[in-house]
Amino acid sequence: MATVAPVSVRCGIKDVAESPVLAMKEVEIARRLAVVRVRIAAAAEREGLSPLNVRILAVSKAHGSEAVRAGLAAGLTDFGENYVGEGVAKMNELGLGARWHFIGRLQSNKTRLVAERFDWVHTVFREREVMRLNSQRPAASLPLNVCIQVRMQDADARPALPAEEVPGLAALISAQPRLRLRGLMGVPIPDAPRDAYLRLRSLFDELNASGLNLDTLSMGMTADLETAVECGATLVRVGTALFGPRPPR
């Protein structure tokens, strides 16, 4: 009885077992993933939360498609990219098997590729992009999963939506047939993430109490994922801890 390698089946890749380099990378990423899972579990346990409620988004930006391939083999399912072209190139190389999240700055002239090729976008904060993504999402695809990027601190210069404007945009997104509002995303400035994360969690809870059905609070990266999990993150975006330092572009 031939045993079918589940990885080959899942991602349509035949060369996993044949390439020693890929096999090494796969073992390395599997080891790193185990460490990340322990970090998440320890943080969740400190707050009496279930680590099962925390998903891992593997941020593969600046790493090649072989890193994604090894990540899939190690059991990762969701990959995050900051540049549309780079993400699409990896999708084209890999074929089916991964779920792709756009986590970079959303530019109006790039919304079409995001709408056509990605499964998720975490960085929506303007009405204009909402309308474009909705009209550009192909009818044959499932609705595009959307998180609103929320401004975390007054000092934050990054483009994001102030908290008081989130309910309005959330209502607009919820009304679009080709979009599915999943939750909120935040990138805090480094010095005081805990307060910012707790505020984002409160906003998330308020939106759900007001009748929305959000399941995704996207916050925390390699350096601060424990803090984010303690504050109630349901998805952490992890690059370096899984794939190692990013090669210079």
Ligand X SMILES: *Cc1c(COP(=O)(O)O)cnc(C)c1O
Minimum CB distance to ligand X smaller for 83 or for 172: 83
The reply on whether position 232 binds ligand X by CB under 6 A is no
Shortest reach from residue 2's CB to ligand X, in Å: 39
> Which of 103, 161, 169, 184 forms a contact with ligand X (CB under 6 A)?
103
Shortest reach from residue 103's CB to ligand X, in Å: 4
The H or E element spanning position 220 is none
Q: For the CA atoms of the chain, what is the radius of gyration?
A: 18
Nearest in space to 11 (alpha carbons), one of 91, 83, 88: 91
Of 47-55, 83-91, 94-102, 234-242: span binding ligand X (CB under 6 A): 234-242
Query: Which residues ranging from 170 to 199 are in contact with ligand X (CB under 6 A)?
Result: 187
Of 41-49, 63-71, 125-133, 235-243: span binding ligand X (CB under 6 A): 235-243
Query: Which residues ranging from 58 to 77 are in contact with ligand X (CB under 6 A)?
Result: 59, 61
The Cα–Cα gap between 226 and 232 comes to: 10
Minimum CB distance to ligand X smaller for 10 or for 110: 110
The Cα–Cα gap between 138 and 147 comes to: 19
Asked if 207 and 167 touch (Cβ cutoff 8 Å), the reply is: yes
Amino acid at 150: V
Asked if 130 and 150 touch (Cβ cutoff 8 Å), the reply is: no
Strand-pairing partners, residue 146, are: 121, 181
Shortest reach from residue 12's CB to ligand X, in Å: 26
The reply on whether position 221 binds ligand X by CB under 6 A is yes
Residue nearest to ligand X (CB): 239
The Cα–Cα gap between 70 and 28 comes to: 9
Asked if 55 and 7 touch (Cβ cutoff 8 Å), the reply is: no
Strand-pairing partners, residue 216, are: 183
Number of residues engaging ligand X in binding (CB under 6 A): 12
Minimum CB distance to ligand X smaller for 7 or for 230: 230
The reply on whether position 239 binds ligand X by CB under 6 A is yes
Chain residues in the site for ligand X (CB under 6 A): 59, 61, 82, 103, 187, 221-223, 237-240
